[in-house]
Amino acid sequence: MFDRLLEVCRHQGLIGAGGKQCTDSTHVISAVRDLNWTELAGESVRAALEALAAAAAGWLADAVDIPEFAQRYAERVNGWTMPSSKSKRDRLAVVFGQDALALCRAIWSPGAPRWLRADLIQNATRQGITMVTPAHLDHSPQAKADAGF
């Protein structure tokens, strides 16, 4: 089938034989990688919010700004809906990171259910995920003790 398509395209003058091909594949691969990382960051926050909403909806409603998070994470984060400019995508990646950090801080806050931290540690360990805890952000002995280190 592909051979037939090539034959028709050659006959109509859409493609020619031989010649040197030029590619910007390095730039394309880099752009795709950047989109994939940004998408992964946003989807990770969205998945965490969904899990927290199912496990501790009341606590989550008090811990984060629900309208703002709902606006940002209501729809699946994907490359088709990403901003077209690199600076806007970079800003969005920073926002995803700030949201993830806000969730981590909320989960490790004194008012959060302790079982939530234990469940988070168990799931992260099972999946081989490196977690950021308050002890990573604040190296004081009190922060380490509060985090259980």
User: How do the domains of the chain map onto residue ranges?
Assistant: 24-147
**What value does the mean pLDDT take over residues 96-104?**
87
- Residue 92's Cβ-side half-sphere holds a number of Cα atoms within 13 Å equal to 24
For every residue of 6-17, DSSP letters joined together read HHHHHHTTSS-S
Q: By CB neighbour count within 10 A (0-12 exposed, 13-18 middle, 19+ buried), where does 77 fall? A: buried
Residue 92, number of CB atoms within 10 A of its CB: 17
- pLDDT exceeding 90 applies to what percent of the chain? 1
Rounded to two decimals, the pTM is: 0.62
- Residue whose tokens read 């002995």: 141
Burial 94-111, CB ≥16 within 10 A → b, else e: eebeebbeebbebbbeee
Q: What are the angstrom distances between the C-alpha of 52 and each of 92, 93, 131?
A: 22, 21, 16
Instruction: Quote the CA–CA distance of 37 and 110 in Å, as a whole number.
Output: 31
Segment 10-40, tens digit of pLDDT: 777 777 666 555 555 676 666 666 667 888 8
What is the pLDDT confidence band of residue 136, given thresholds at 50, 70 and 90? very low
- pLDDT exceeding 70 applies to what percent of the chain? 65
- Residue 110 is classified by DSSP as T
- In terms of phi and psi (left: phi > 0; alpha: psi -120 to 50; beta: otherwise), the region of 65 is beta
Burial 115-139, CB ≥16 within 10 A → b, else e: ebbeebeeeeeeeeeeeebbbeeee
